[in-house]
A and B are shown apart, each in its own frame.
Chain A
Amino acid sequence: MEFGYPWWLRIEHFVNIIFMVFLIRSGLEILATHPKLYWNDDSKPGSEWGRFTRKVMPKDKLYDTLDEEESYSSIVSMPGHKMLGMGRHWHFITVLGWILTGIIYVALLFITGQYHRYFPYSWEIFPRAFQDIVTYLSFDLPPTLPGQPFNAIQQLSYGAVIFVLAPFQILTGAAQSPAIEARFPWFVRLWGGRQWARSLHFFGLVAFLGFIIIHLLMVTVHGFGGETAKIIFGREEHPVWAMLITFAALIAVVILNVIATKYTLSHPRNIQRWFGAVIMKVRKVGLHPLTSRQNYRKTELSPEHRVNGKPPDVDSYKVMAAHDFVDYTLQVGGLVERSMTFTLEELRTFPTKQTQRVLHNCIQGWTSIGEWSGIPLRQIVELVKPLPEARHIVFWTMQDTERDEPSAEGVGQFYETIDLDLAYHPQTLLAYEMNGEPLPIKHGAPLRLRLETQVGFKMAKWIERIEFVSDYSNIGEGMGGWREDNVFYDQDVGI
């Protein structure tokens, strides 16, 4: 068959450039928020194999992972300047477009028979590819394969990027979703664990960067004008025009990035609303119904659990803690048939105490395995009986972010909302114990939420009261939680 450069292939190539640039830059933004990579799911400080920060944390004062966050330049990350929420929005919206583009591309490859260009049909390809490398290193150009548009090493490289590396990145990305991990723990183990998946995802990024650099180098070596003409006009003609159009297209990509970055930094709420509308729908359909079925072994518990968020730095809380929270009460009200108040002792002596050993996923990327004990939230829900119009649950905490969390942007009482249906998930817990001991202050004593299919920030700590509401748009900035209001995260974070 005739292997050319059909119009759809050329369009897909250009669209892919745009998506890849946004994916890489937003991926680096996500990495910046916890710039450390591990081979263990404990993410124990000091055990990282990769470190992209020079920050040194204090040993004599509690620090949390927000203090470890790095601010990368907008030149490398999207949008830069410690904006994880925006980085995630860009990464996830782009990945949707990228996957869609990829599906169309692969479908067209098979429909038109063009896939043959990427498929080696003989083991002979490997020695030929090796010979091609030797030829390149000898500053010469290897011949193309008979009847093919590529030489052996090109065929292997392009085939590997399309059919191995791209799916690898999608799968290692999916393995970092708490909803997928919670429902299919075997899938995470398949990759060696959650932090293996994150590290492998990083290596996928390095492989893509390596491919892009070598690809551009090869285009230049083979003749920039002729090669760009193939991908622009479909034939090796008008090389000067091809070069000019290529440079214009690259400049357009840069301008697009500059505009997108500046707009994201100046109007993050708009990005949150627009992208969130798409991403949240996909998540709610695909990930929301997944329930946690985790049961890690006791021997897998992390010896040390990282901290995100600092405890309420107020005397009333400290005095209450010094008295083992004897005076603590949990108020549950709002759109319910029966408002109730529970003491900690009442909660501790609930007959339906539940214990679970699960993987904790911080939105920043680190993880830990912990054992949590408490009351299934559905028990409280069944006691207070939500009214039919109740749709969400608000967890109000004792944390004043301005006072307690200077590393975070924003002020005010910390709160988070969850959709009511998540309360009925079997491993949604109001936890008062961790690893068989009373819940430590740094992890949310006396009471915190465990919501295993979402990332960590949804699991409100130092809970003061619980309120059932029909709508959260009139609470705070109306985005569904303190972090959603202030750092532009999504309200539903199954990934």
Chain B
Amino acid sequence: MGLAEERRGLTEGQKRRVLGKIEERDLTCGSCGSDDFEVGEALYVGFLFLSEDHDNYVVALTCTNTDCRTPRTGIKLRGAEFLR
């Protein structure tokens, strides 16, 4: 089964830009503190959710620490920040 209509896969270039934003924001895993993530798909939230700006996405991140108890997290980004 394919992606749900709201999610989209990212190219390698787009994933690199997401990782760059993680570094820029000093984002670490809320569960284990690791700063190493694997970038997954992007969920467009600008249309569906009342509080979100039109260009907003939540990008799926998975903490690469195998001991992490809650490895799945995300980062909110504007489309212009990584969808080029």
> Which residues of A pack against B, CB within 8 Å?
60-62, 310-311, 313, 315, 318-324, 326-327, 404, 406, 437-442, 445
**A404 surroundings in chain B (CB, below 8 A):** 50
A406 CA to B1 CA in the complex, in Å? Answer: 34
The reply on B29 being an interface residue by CB < 8 A is no
Q: Which residues of A contact B7 (CB under 8 A)?
A: 321-322, 324
Q: Which residue of the partner chain, among B2, B50, B73, contacts A313 with CB atoms under 8 Å?
A: B50
Given A322-B41, A322-B58, A445-B4 contact (CB < 8 Å): yes
Given contacts A440-B4, A440-B5, contact A315 B74 (CB under 8 A): yes
Contact at B72–A319, with CB atoms within 8 Å?
A: yes
Known: A315-B76, A322-B60, A324-B3; 13 extra A-B contacts, CB below 8 A, are: A60-B47, A61-B50, A62-B47, A313-B49, A313-B51, A323-B62, A323-B72, A327-B70, A437-B2, A437-B5, A440-B4, A441-B6, A442-B48
B40 at the interface (CB under 8 A from A): yes
Q: Quick one: given A318-B43, A406-B50, are A441 and B4 in contact (CB under 8 Å)?
A: yes
Chain A residues in 8 Å Cβ range of B60? 319, 322-323
Please report which residues of chain B, range 56-70, place their CB below 8 angstroms from some CB of chain A when the two chains form the complex.
58-60, 62, 70
Q: Does B45 contact A (CB under 8 A)?
A: yes
Q: Which residues of B contact A326 (CB under 8 A)?
A: 72
Chain B, interface size category, equals 20 to 34
Q: Are B50 and A310 neighbours in the complex by a CB distance under 8 Å?
A: yes
Interface of A is mostly: loop
Which residues of B are interface residues toward A (Cβ below 8 A)? 1-7, 40-43, 45, 47-52, 54, 58-60, 62, 70, 72-74, 76
Nearest A-chain residue to B73, judged by Cβ? A319
**A441 proximity list for chain B (CB < 8 A):** 4, 6, 48
| Residues of A with C-beta under 8 A to B70 | 327
B60's nearest neighbour on chain A, judged by CB, is A322
Sampled A-B contacts (28; CB under 8 Å): A62-B48, A310-B50, A311-B49, A315-B74, A318-B49, A318-B74, A319-B60, A319-B72, A319-B73, A321-B4, A321-B7, A322-B7, A322-B42, A322-B58, A322-B74, A323-B60, A323-B62, A324-B4, A404-B50, A437-B1, A437-B2, A437-B4, A437-B5, A438-B4, A439-B4, A440-B5, A441-B6, A441-B48
A313, A321, A439, A442: the one contacting B43 at CB < 8 Å is: A321
Shortest distance in angstroms between B58's beta carbon and chain A's nearest beta carbon?
5
> A439 CA to B40 CA in the complex, in Å?
20
Q: Assess whether B54 is in contact with A60, with CB atoms less than 8 Å apart.
A: yes
Q: How far is the CB of B74 from chain A (nearest CB, A)?
A: 4
Residues from chain B with a CB closer than 8 A to the CB of A61 are 47, 50, 54
CB distance from B5 to the nearest CB of A (A): 6
